[in-house]
Structure 1
Amino acid sequence: MERPPRKSSGTPPRSLQRIAAALFLAILVALPFAVMYRAAVSQSLQDSWEWDPLPSLAASEEEGAEGGDLGSQDLKLERVLQKASMGDNTVILTTLNAAWASPGSVIDLFIDSFRSGVRTSSLLRHLVIIAFDWNAYKQCVKIHPYCFALGTDVVDFSEEKRFLTPGYVEMMWKRIDFLRLVLERGFSFIFSDADIMWFRNPFPHFYPDGDFQIACDHYVGNATDLRNIANGGFNYVKSNERSIEFYSFWYSSRLRYPGFHDQDVFNVIKHEPYVADIGLKIKFLSTSYFGGFCEPSRDLNKVCTMHANCCIGLGSKVHDLRIMMEDWRNYLSLPPSLKRSRALAWRVPQNCSLS
């Protein structure tokens, strides 16, 4: 025998109405506290700077589309490197602290050199700026799409670190350790100090068989001669077992030479048998193409990069870098016949002169 169908009253029972009303009231009371708690936690994370760094602007857009957090610092690094990498997993890296990040200072000149160089503007798509402090990171995301925060709660890297001071030495070794991590993730890189101006695409002047290629303060005329005095501010390194092992050895060597910075330690360990045993192919880059104030590139028709090395003090660097950029723009404005003139010369160093 079939049961008669139930009649719907059109309204829920009074007990359900009371439960719903109580639940709605609880939500109204709890919501402001939840918002305040979330804001406090967010500000605390930002203020503590305990390396939950913000991603770059480009990464932020992707995260918003996915609706999730990147999760870990390693994953954030992997993504920004992937975004910036060339087809062969090569990236261009530079480091930045607040002292070099202020508007009109070193980082603006660095980026401007890419835009003013010959076949260099497209290389900006492959540049990742590594920020050593919060203020440098905030400035980076205003001027460039690929930024990564690499700070520390042990040493404050935001202020100017003058050459060979303890803070400078610590910052250089932090950089070496970070570059090792990049190699371990399968990315080759050109590392360039931000006080290096890029005037031409350097890739045609790299050696195809070099694992580790480095610029020089003094070049003796032979790319394999260990008497070349290397400068760690510019190097091209291919990611492979040899280079990864070498960077691990280089970083660990700081313990044998306390107080020495990475460049001086490199100029010692390049002679050690262990480096030869690794099989690392080291090439030194000619100052004809990769010059600096220590030993300038004499021919403006050949120069790829110029480094404000052999120069102490941020003010002196910025002064001479601006003059260098003026010299370069004057060169570009010349007709081809005058560009080939041997009479062309840099007006720098001036404030950076060590004489």
Structure 2
Amino acid sequence: MAELKWFKPLLFFALLFVICFVFYLPANLMMRTTLQFLGPQSNGDQCNELATVLKRASMVNKTVIITTMNKAWAAPGSVIDLFLESFRIGEGTKVLLNHIVIVAVDHKAFNRCKSIHPHCYYLVTPGVDFADEKRFMSEDYLKLIWRRIDFLRTVLELGYNFAFTDADVMWLRDPFPHFHFTAETEITIACDYYKGNPTDKNNKANGGFIFVKSNLKSIGFYKYWYKSRVWYPNSHDQSVFEMIKNDKNVTTTGLQIRYLDTNCFGGFCQPSKDMNKVCTMHANCCVGIENKVHDLRLVLEDWKNFIALPTEKRRLVGSSSLWRAPRECKIRRKVLSRTTLL
């Protein structure tokens, strides 16, 4: 009987230890993982800062719009100003401005962001300078691209859906009605070239405009996408996406991908042919900030001229109108290897 008296308290403390181990340790590991991602100079305050910025910018359904910029794209009159202007003049897009989080990858870009926009986050990468324009496929360019993928994975893990958009995408209409919030689709992504079927995996995806719902499938995919950079060295995110989207490690999870029609989500690779339907125009298939800025200004000018027309005339000319862009981008496409991209 005396041994039984000692056994009951011992059993109680053992059970308490198991409960603490099961519930406390995973949360502790998750926090350590997040802090490790944010960088060796990070701390709990920085982790909380990201959560705070996302919460302030979030829609009621925990969805945010995210873009990134460095000093080169943040200069006055450059890409970021055109990006924000497109929201102000687009149809149904002005209300979306308060849901944009601008992720700055260098200190000067962060300071510029704070002067023009309410929701800014400084993504620190110790030992790497992302301030200047990066030559396409250079070492720093690839570091920047993969840093972005890992950051977006963290956003998903914090429970937020996101529409990631390159800053050289002009938002001319609200695109959210085209995204599948309730259907079994985790990823909705734009194309360089669209083949007519939203589920055809032969569509050439463009990661510069992508909507992702936060769930276990999408989080797992982003982890696998980031990990795959090791297996495909010297490749950027878009190329690796194409390589792994049919991988059995992806398909067996049930992850669903839908591709956006370029007639609504166009770009300089394959421009939208109907201004009555266009939602976004992307300066893809284009290199060099000067070329992008020149042609994106043409896009905004053409859009302003179109929406200034009477409604009936817009219906008549919208489906037959032609964008003036790409112009400089089209001329420069042949010198891709000697020019630069963010």
Q: Which residue of 1 aligns with 2:251?
A: 276
- For residues 51 and 90 of structure 1, the distance between their equivalents in structure 2, rounded to whole angstroms, comes to 28
Q: Could you tell me whether the CA contact under 8 Å between 2:149 and 2:222 is conserved in 1?
A: yes
For the 8 Å contact 1:298–1:345, the answer to whether it is kept is yes
CA separation of 1:337/1:174 partners in 2, compared to 1, >3 Å: closer, same or farther?
Answer: same
Q: 1:347 — aligned with what?
A: 324
The alignment-based identity, stated in percent, is 54
CA contact (8 A) 2:114 2:120 kept: yes
Residue 51 of structure 1 deviates from its aligned partner by: 4.9
Amino acid at match of 2:205: A
Contact persistence 1:51–1:152 (CA under 8 A): no
> Are the counterparts in 2 of residues 92 and 191 from structure 1 also a CA contact under 8 Å?
yes
- The answer to whether the aligner puts 1:313 opposite 2:288 as a matched pair is yes
Alpha carbon RMSD of aligned pairs, Å?
1.4
User: Given the alignment, which residue of 214, 232, 241 partners 2:189?
Assistant: 214
Query: 1:158 offset after TM fit, Å?
Result: 0.4
Q: Gaps spanning 5+ residues in structure 1: where?
A: 1-48, 53-69
Decide which of 308, 330, 338 is 2:313's aligned counterpart.
338
Q: Is 1:304 matched with 2:279?
A: yes
Counterparts of 1:213 and 1:284 in 2: how far apart (Å)?
A: 6
Give the match for residue 13 of structure 1.
Answer: none
Residue 260 of structure 2 is matched in structure 1 by 285
Partner AA of 2:126 in structure 1: D
Show the counterpart of 1:108: 81
1:286 and 1:320, CA in 2 relative to 1: closer, same or farther beyond 3 A? Answer: same
Asked if structure 2 preserves the Cα contact closer than 8 Å seen for 1:51 and 1:73, the reply is: no
Q: Shift of the alpha carbon at 1:277?
A: 1.1
1:197 equivalent in alignment to 2:174:
no
Aligned to 1:326: 301
2:7 corresponds in structure 1 to none
- Contact conserved, 1:162 with 1:312, CA < 8 A, in 2? no
2:129 is aligned with 1:152: no
The verdict on how the C-alpha distance between 1:248 and 1:71 changes in structure 2, with shifts beyond 3 A counting, is closer
Equivalent residue in structure 2 for 1:235, among 210, 214, 217: 210
SS at 2:255 equivalent: coil
Instruction: Give me the whole-angstrom Cα distance separating, in 2, the residues matched to 1:225 and 1:51.
Output: 43
CA apart distance, 1:167:
1.6
1:97 matched residue in structure 2: 70
Q: Which runs of 4+ in 1 moved over 3 A?
A: 49-52
The normalised TM-score by structure 1 is 0.80
Cα drift, residue 151 of structure 1: 2.0
- Of residues 69, 78, 84, the one that matches 2:57 is 84
Which segments of 5 or more consecutive residues in structure 2 lack a partner in the other structure?
1-38, 335-342
Aligned-residue offset at 1:319: 0.6
SS in 1 for 2:199: coil
Question: Which amino acid is 2:327 matched to?
Answer: Q
Find the aligned partners of 2:138 and 2:169 in 1 and give their Cα distance. 21
- Spell out the pairing of 1:24-43 with structure 2 (5 A cutoff): none
TM score, norm. by length of structure 2 = 0.83
Counterpart pick for 1:122 among 73, 95, 98: 95
| Rounded Cα–Cα distance in structure 2 between residues aligned with 1:275 and 1:50 | 31
